[in-house]
Every structure is written in structure tokens, then in C-alpha cells.
Structure 1
Amino acid sequence: MKIKYNIIPKERVSFVKESFTIREAVEELEECGYRCIPILDDSATYYKGNIYVQDIYKAIIKESHTWDDSVMALADDREVFIEEQASFFTVFSSIKKYPYLAVIKEDKTFAGILTHANVMAILEDSWGVKTGSYTLNISTHEYKGALSTIVSTVKKHTGIQALLTLDNESRLFRRVLITLPADTTEKILKNVTHDLEKEGLRVFEIEKI
């Protein structure tokens, strides 16, 4: 899955230019209310790094920089960016370290940013939070065909809105979370649960979304 369609485009991103002073940068940060924003070149085309409000105040307090110094003196994360065509899985671990990731187009121009909120929206969509009805937490001993058995059993009664496996490193058991479609009735839910347990699977938790 590509992240291209889940980013905040440049037109909606607050940023400063590389010719800004530290004073101008902090004014922009205070106006937008963010703790960190991108630095772009003077044509607002290319990504040059990030500027953090905490870095500014730390530098001023320690008198290592003045308000009239270039914002580039405090530029951080200059090499922290992802390509617009990057997959969701390649950026998932990286974004945990930063407030957002700058996104670069194929021609190296700045496209926008991918935020934690964007990532959560992707996860919510893939999990069927807004389109599902019930989530079944199923426990099974690890054996060949276990997942196939779960899927085929559920599909006798209804579709599957989302599916997630946990404990993938375990050799003994695995948990499988299945989200059922929004139109799933309590009768269908009961039949699905009954047939899963009939197959030797344990439905140990059912959560209504």
C-alpha cells in the first residue's frame, strides 16, 4: 500500500524558508502552534530539514546562537524523508521517532508530510473501524491451514471486513483478529462463533465496534 494518497500536501503545510532568521522561524512556529515544521529552499520547492521550537529556545538560552542567525544553523533531520511512492510498511518504523516524515516526489521536490495522524487513519481504515460491526479475537494452535480454516468458516455466513494476525513469532499458538461487515446481525455473529468453536478454535473475545 502506497502512502502517496495519505499525506498532507505542501499547500496545507506550514514551513519556513532557508533564508529565514531564527527569529522569523520562531514567529512562524508560534503562529502555527506546531513544535516542528519543515524548512524549504527559498523557492519553496526542496526540503532542507526541520526546525524545532525547543532547539531554538535552547540555543537562545545557552547563547550558542542569536535571533539573527540563519534558521539553517539549527536545521535538523536533513536526511529524514521518504519518497512519495514508498510503501506503508517501509515508513511505519521510521515515523515513530519523529513528529512527521517529509515526503519527496520522484523529481526530489517537496510533496508534503506524513504525520502520526495519517498513519493512524491508514490503520483504522485497514482495520475496518468505520465500516465494521464486530471484532472477533480468535485463538488457535499454530498448524498448517489454521488461517484457511478460520477464513472459510467465517465466509460460510458473512464476509470479512478486515483480518489481522498476532503472535506471529510464536510456534505454539496464534491470535487472529477478524472484523465482520457493518451489516452483521447478532444471529450471524452467533452462528460464526459457534462454527469457529466447532472447528476447535477459541473465540475468547468479541468486541462491538
Structure 2
Amino acid sequence: MNITDYSIKKEDIVYVHEDSTLKEALALMETHHFRCIPILDKSATLFRGTIYRQHIYQYIIQKKSLDLPVTHLQKNATKYIYANSSFYQVMFAVRDLPYITILNPDHTFYGILTHRAFETALYRAWGLNADSYILTIELPQNKRGSLAKVTRIIGRYVSISSMISWADKDHKKNYMTMNLDESCDLETLHKIINRLEARDFRVLSTQHTKEIFL
């Protein structure tokens, strides 16, 4: 996954400079209906942090001055990723934030990746934008090569577009969710299921992407 394909570049972002006032930042966020925006240095090259509208509102309630610089209320100064960060680095960085800042390798500001854009990236990466069947299979415990056997069985009939492995909360059971190629029809799906169950692999559910996103 190339996160820059889903990011917003600096030239398309509303931001404030580190010497901008809280009043100026609030005006920008209210005009554009943003809950937060990035703070950059005076040269608009380096990322300094994020200013949130709610924190400025708290200042208003407390009757404090909005003529202070935005750095007075800056947050998330160390919350960023790089344009070449791995999928897992991106996933854990953006999970609790409305957006994550993206830096170039030289540490200069590249842009941002919004939470919603990352969800779109996952949606496409997992093939959920295609008309296809999704299988969820329980893998036998402590049996080496189970995943390889499952993929070989399915591979005899159709390609696998994407797959995700996961375990229950007690790590007592392992599961595999596989998104099959669009060419898989209902007849082929039944052949795959019958073959898997004949090899003692339990198929927990079958769904079509159309059923999920009605």
C-alpha cells in the first residue's frame, strides 16, 4: 500500500504557522468546518504539531486570551509517519487520530492522511470494492502447514485477491478470511467449500461483498 496515493499534499491543506494566533486558527477551522489543522513552522516546511478547535473553545469558556500563538495549545507534535512507512506503522499511528501527518525522508512536511482515507485504502486493499465472495475458515490448532493447504485447495479453482489471519481473544482459535477473485461463481464456491470441508477445514461463513455493503 502506497499511502501517498491516499494522502492530501501540503499545497491542498489548510494549516497555520507557528506564529499564528489562536484566534486566526479558530477562524480558519470554523470557515472550513475542520476540527483540527496542522501547525507548520514559519517557512511552512517543518511540522510543529496540531491545533484542535475544542481546545480553543475551552480557552474561550475560561475567558483566556486568543491572541496567544497556536503553539501554546499544540498537540501531537510527535505523531507522524513517513511517506515510506509500513502498513502496520500507518495503522497504529492513525487509529486514534482524525489524521496522521506524513513527512518526507528529510523530515520535511509532505501532507496528511485522514482516518477516512485510510479506511478507504483498507477497503480497496482487501478487495471489498470488487464483486466477490469472502470465505471465513477456522484453521486447526497446532497443525503446521494448515494455511498453505487451504491456499492450495482454493488455488486449484480460483485466485485469492486478499486474505487476513486473526485469532480469538484467548488465542485458542485461528481464523482466515479470504477474498476470492471476481471470477469465482456460485458453483465454483460450492466446490471450494466441499473440498475444504473434506480436508477437515471448517468454513464458518460465506458472504458476497454486495451483501455486506447493501
Q: Which residue pairs with 2:212 in the alignment?
A: none
Whether 2:60 is the aligned partner of 1:54: answer no
Cα offset, 1:55, TM superposition = 0.5
Gaps (5+ residues) in structure 1? none
Q: Which residue pairs with 1:8 in the alignment?
A: 8
State the one-letter code of the partner of 2:29.
L
TM-score w.r.t. length of structure 2: 0.90
Q: Note the 1:39-118 alignment, pairs <5 A.
A: 39-63=39-63, 65-118=64-117
Quick one: distance in 1 between partners of 2:110 and 2:68? 27
- Tell me the alpha carbon deviations over residues 46-91 of structure 1, each in whole angstroms, 9 at most, x when there is no partner: 111110001001012113x312221221112122211222112113
- Are the aligned partners of 2:102 and 2:110 in contact in 1 as well (CA < 8 Å)? yes
Give the count of matched residue pairs: 208
- Tell me the alpha carbon deviations over residues 150-191 of structure 1, each in whole angstroms, 9 at most, x when there is no partner: 000001111111111111786653211111111211111111
- Are the aligned partners of 1:141 and 1:172 in contact in 2 as well (CA < 8 Å)? no
Q: Note the 1:1-209 alignment, pairs <5 A.
A: 1-63=1-63, 65-142=64-141, 143-167=143-167, 172-209=172-209
State the one-letter code of the partner of 2:83.
E
- Tell me the alpha carbon deviations over residues 97-121 of structure 1, each in whole angstroms, 9 at most, x when there is no partner: 2211111112221100112112212
- Is the deviation greater in 52-61 or in 115-124? 115-124
- Tell me the alpha carbon deviations over residues 116-161 of structure 1, each in whole angstroms, 9 at most, x when there is no partner: 1122122212211013500011112121011011000001111111
Gaps (5+ residues) in structure 2? 210-214
Counterpart secondary structure, 2:160: coil
Quick one: distance in 1 between partners of 2:183 and 2:200? 26
Counterpart secondary structure, 1:97: coil
Quick one: distance in 1 between partners of 2:35 and 2:133? 38
Quick one: distance in 2 between partners of 1:79 and 1:200? 49
- Are the aligned partners of 1:17 and 1:44 in contact in 2 as well (CA < 8 Å)? yes
Percent identity of paired positions between Structure 1 and Structure 2: 30
Counterpart secondary structure, 1:161: strand
Q: CA RMSD in A?
A: 1.8
State the one-letter code of the partner of 2:108.
T
